Amino acid sequence: MNQGFARVEMRSLFMDLTINNILRMMAGKRFYGDGTEQDDNSRRVRHLIDEVVAKAGAGNANDYIPILRWFKNFEKQVKKLAGRVDEFLQSLVDEKRANKEKGNTMMDHLLSLQEMQPDYYTDVTLKGIIIVMILAGTETLTGTLEWAMLNLSNHPEVLRKARTEIDTKIGFDRLIDEPDTKSLPYLQGIVLETLRLHPAAPTLVPHMTSDDCMLAGYDVPRGTMLLVNVWALHRDPSVWEDPEMFKPERLENEKEKQKVFSFGIGRRACPGVGLTHRLVSLALGSMVQCFESERIGEEYIETREAPMMCPATLLLAMCKARPIVHKTFHAFA
């Protein structure tokens, strides 16, 4: 194993991690890692996700000037992409259905429900649930991990403090595990502060009024689309002290944590909040515990136009394995 620093492009690694995580939950399949290098499906699923995200984030002038439909083929491209996505999702359903060994994946449970209520849990319903999970659980998690690593690169004192917390509470004889993250308040603060400054969906998910109502003194008719500018709320100087500063310690306070609602609040909040906190905390903690890292370049990284708030350019870093990596790998060898 190379003892020196190596140049690493973070986004691809984080995307591989999140795709594997979601698809193992959904279908019990690994698409990345040892033994999957020659698997055509691994390249296929990554390409499909990239295409869907690109199309979902693209502006469509046809929505505003219908006559352009005669000259632009955007809708035709979307329909063609939808067909390829449906083909991939159906292959997952068919493969899982053909496997007589019942597992504990989400698809196993959905197929069990389909047997009991076939008219309700159709293949269309199953595929809809799967694609929502894949899209919601890959791009958002990848972007959050990117921003977290970028924040640590910009604030080496925060990185040092997080590593000291992990080394002190976990030690040097084993790797961090998911239950450990609950006892690492500073690491949790880093995750929450990243979500405060860089919410994956800066205006949350659009909502619609079910009845005429009044908001902030304005009459809002039924059927109005409402967006919550959580990005602005999280940077409001009347709510936060030094709102533009990255200060994880502020979110070790339970009262301050209540001000962060990157996933919304109430019954309509995103159900993926728990998964995001667990996976990001574990992945980030593992990176901090296992690797020394240094940022390449000092230029400010902007956000890019997309359904989620992501860095505009690839996050590159110089990484070097810490002694605990060699120690634990030798123990497993």
Binding residues for heme: 270
DSSP state letters, 249-281: GGGGSHHHHTT--TT--GGGS-TTHHHHHHHHH
In angstroms, how far is the first alpha carbon of the chain from the final one? 13
CA distance 162 to 246: 14
Residue closest to 235 by CA, chosen among 244, 225, 227: 244
Q: Is 305 helix (H, G, I), strand (E, B) or coil?
A: coil
> What residues contact 234, with CB distance under 8 A and at least 6 apart?
196, 197, 199, 240, 243, 259, 260, 262
CA distance 294 to 154: 9
DSSP letter, residue 5 = -
| CA 75 to chain centroid | 27
Residue closest to 96 by CA, chosen among 84, 112, 82, 85: 112
At 81, list the tokens.
């992409």
C-alpha neighbours within 13 Å on the C-beta side of residue 129: 18
What is the residue type of 85?
V
Residue identified by tokens 């959580």 is 230
Provide φ and ψ at 35, rounded to 5°.
90, -5
Residue numbers belonging to the annotated binding site = 270
Using only the alpha carbons of the chain, give its radius of gyration: 22
